[in-house]
Amino acid sequence: MTITEAHVATDTWLERYDAAVAGVLPSYFELIADRAEGSWITDVEGRRYLDFGSGIAVTNVGHGHPTVVAAIERQVRDLIHTSVVFRHARYIELAEAVGRLTPFFDRPQVFLCNSGAEAVDGALKLARKTTGKGGVIAFRRAFHGRTMAATSLTTAKGKYREGYEPLLGGITVVDYCVPGEHPSEAEAVRAALAELDAVLSLQLPDGNVGAMIVEPVLGEGGYVVPPVAWLEGLRRRCDEHGIVLIFDEVQCGMGRTGHAFAAETFGVTPDVILFAKGIASGLPLGGIVAPAALMERWPNGAHGSTFGGNPVACAAALATIEVLLRDDLFARAELLGARAIERLCLSTAALDVVTDVRGIGLMVGVELRDKDAASAVQERCLADGLVVLTCGPGENVLRLVPPLTLSDEELDHGLTILEQALADVV
């Protein structure tokens, strides 16, 4: 294909997209993906991009990992769908595998669905059904999904809620603990917990609040790593008030923080963990995992799903977990993330455009002075063959979430492109 033909192909696809696809669906870039492998995506023009976005933290073991592809192919030939008419082996095996990733839970049990937002909705139903209390505490700058209940909990950006009110009632939003907004980490913890205590004592009698849902690492809200002391404070208050503590690990789970789940990384055990994104390498799958003592109080038939726990998605998830464990990718995430943060802190120290570099494992945030600067860096990176996503309330944080299978050379190549883009913006 010639360059001219390639451009025509892209333009033709974009015209068809605009004609056929609902305009409400957003996209970062006006590119048409054709294929992907490992840490690279190729568009219909044949141009390759190093992917530091992973489909928003989804392709944790890379695009099209051979082990995952082989598992999908085998399962498609055997069994594609059962719904709740029949039980199937892959669902059972995956529930057992996820349980082994949560050694801090006593007899963990799993419910599978199709997405992170569905897991959020299900967890709210679980908490309400088992506590008899409908009130929910959520945190400012959170992103929990796009369904109506998940949107009601989401405050990362006003546009996610605009035009959809009235939303789900009974939700109280309090401050997330953002260390950079205070003189010290200790002061950040004190202020955030003081506000929570005031809300619990003045606004929310114990008989009203059944759930507290929090991202143990803030995702869409800016890639903020909170102090462990704050998460420990949440745990104590949930114990004191009989509240179900829910960790939404949809974005930070499946190895990103150096362990399967951030709950283990931080040493703070919630009552419920939600997962999706990185669990099945791009196939739609999400879920809820909690101790049997809680799950057994959720009556049979009180919740369900037609497609949740689809055999093919479960096979992909089992293979994904196999690769994560076999190749020690949790440790790899911790190693590469530390290298990236150290290098970026040094290389950007003299750049006024960069106001912070932070992260944990392979969840790295580079905060810039404003949205325009972030957009300019993102565009320059794309022009040089690197996919970088943005996030944060001001859309001024570059989030780096490459596959955990990223090679040393690929990491260095991507960071070099990013550093040059930052220097050029200055």
Q: Annotated active-site positions, please?
A: 143, 248, 277
DSSP secondary structure, 279-334, as one string: GTTTS--EEEEEEHHHHTTS-TTSS--SSTT-HHHHHHHHHHHHHHHHTTHHHHHH
Identify the CA nearest to 357 among candidates 366, 349, 348: 366
Q: How far apart are CA 395 and CA 400, in angstroms?
A: 14
Tell me, what amino acid is at 71?
A: A
Q: What is the DSSP letter of 277?
A: G
**Tokens for 299?**
């009556």
Cβ within 8 Å of residue 116, ≥6 positions away: 144, 145, 150, 248, 250, 251, 274, 275, 276, 277, 286
Give DSSP secondary structure letters for 28-72: S-S--EEEEEBTEEEETTS-EEEESSHHHHT-TT-BT-HHHHHHH
Residue 384: partners with Cβ closer than 8 Å, 6 or more residues away: 417, 420, 421
The answer for residues whose C-beta is within 8 angstroms of residue 202's C-beta and 6 or more apart is: none
State CA 254 to chain mean position distance: 9
112 closest CA partner among 83, 144, 79: 83
β-strand pairing of 40-43 with 33-37: antiparallel
Q: Which amino acid is at 63?
A: H
Beta partners for residue 400, in sequence order: 364
**Whole-angstrom Cα distance, residue 211 to residue 84?**
28
Say if strands 354-360 and 363-368 run parallel, antiparallel, or are unpaired: antiparallel
